[in-house]
Amino acid sequence: MKRLPVIPTIVVGLAIAIMIALGVWQLQRKAEKEKMIAQYAANITRPEIAFPSVPIDDALLFRKAVGRCLAPLGWRQRSGRDAAGGTGWRQIAQCRSGAEEPGMIVQLGLSPQPGGKPAWNGGTVRGYISHAPDDQPLILSLIGMARPKTLMLVAETPVGGLAANPVPDLSSVPNNHLAYAVQWFLFAGIAGIIYTIAVRRRMASPPPPSPSS
C-alpha cells in the first residue's frame, strides 16, 4: 500500500494554514476599519483644529483643520474629481510651514488640464484632513506592510481659479477586508481540494512493475 507523501503534505498544510490565518486577520481588520469609519464620520462634525505639525496616525482624517503655508516648495498633480463631480487635475503643494517644522501638504483645487501651477505664494488654508497621494503597491496593504500615509490639508476654498475640492466622502475609505477574507478562505479550500484529489489519484494508481517481473 502506498504511503501518504510526507513532505508535500506538510508544505501544502502549512500553506493552507497561512491562508486561513490571513483570512482571519482580514476579518479582524474589517472590524477595526468599521470602528475607524465611525470615528471619521464623527470627525466631520467636530470643531476645527490646527493642522498637525508632526506625523500622526489616521485618527484625525476628515477633521476640519487650518494651517499656514509660508511658501510652496514644489507642486504635484494627480487626477481626481472636483466638488461638482467633474474630472480634473488635483493641484497639490508641498509647503514650508516653519523653520523647525517638517512642512505640510495642501491640495488647493483642481485644474481642467495638466501642466503648469497655480499663481499662489502661500497663506492660511482652511479645509479638512485627508491622505496625500500614495504610490505604494496595493499588495503591501493586503499583507499589512504598507508605510503610514502622509496627511494632507484639502482646502475648502480653491485658489487661482481652480475648481473646488470635493467635500469629505466616507465612501473614499475602502473597507474590502471581507472580500479579501473570503478570497483567502477560497484559496485555502481550493488548495486543499486539489491536493486531496492528487493524493487520491496517486494512492489509487497501480504500483510500477518490479524489475524481476
Q: Give DSSP secondary structure letters for 80-95.
A: EE-TTS-EEEEEEEEE
pLDDT for position 142 = 54
- Quick: pLDDT tens for 182-197: 999 999 999 999 999 9
C-alpha cell at 29: 481588520
Residue 71 has pLDDT above 70, yes or no: yes
**Segment (H or E) for 24:** helix 6-43
What interhelical angle do 177-204 and 6-43 show, nearest 10?
A: 170
Exposed/middle/buried for residue 45 (C-beta within 10 Å: 0-12, 13-18, 19+)? exposed
pLDDT confidence tier of residue 209, bands split at 50, 70 and 90: low
Residue 211 has pLDDT above 70, yes or no: no
- Quick: pLDDT tens for 130-177: 988 877 665 555 555 656 788 999 999 998 889 999 999 888 888 889
Residue 106 has pLDDT above 90, yes or no: yes
Question: What's the rounded mean pLDDT across residues 62-86?
Answer: 92
DSSP conformational letter for 207: P
- Quick: pLDDT tens for 8-31: 899 999 999 999 999 999 999 899
Using CA atoms in the order 142, 146, 152, 158, what is the torsion angle rounded to 10 degrees?
A: -40
pLDDT for position 203 = 79
Residue 110 has pLDDT above 90, yes or no: yes
Question: What's the rounded mean pLDDT across residues 46-68?
Answer: 87
Nearest to 26 by CA among 182, 191, 149, 192: 182
Per-domain boundaries in the chain: 1-44+173-213, 47-167
Output the CA–CA distances (angstroms, integers) from residue 62 to 14, 164, 203, in the order listed: 42, 16, 60
DSSP conformational letter for 163: B
* Predicted TM-score (pTM) of this structure: 0.71
pLDDT for position 61 = 92
**Segment (H or E) for 39:** helix 6-43
pLDDT confidence tier of residue 4, bands split at 50, 70 and 90: confident
The residue to which cell 465611525 is assigned: 38
pLDDT for position 136 = 61
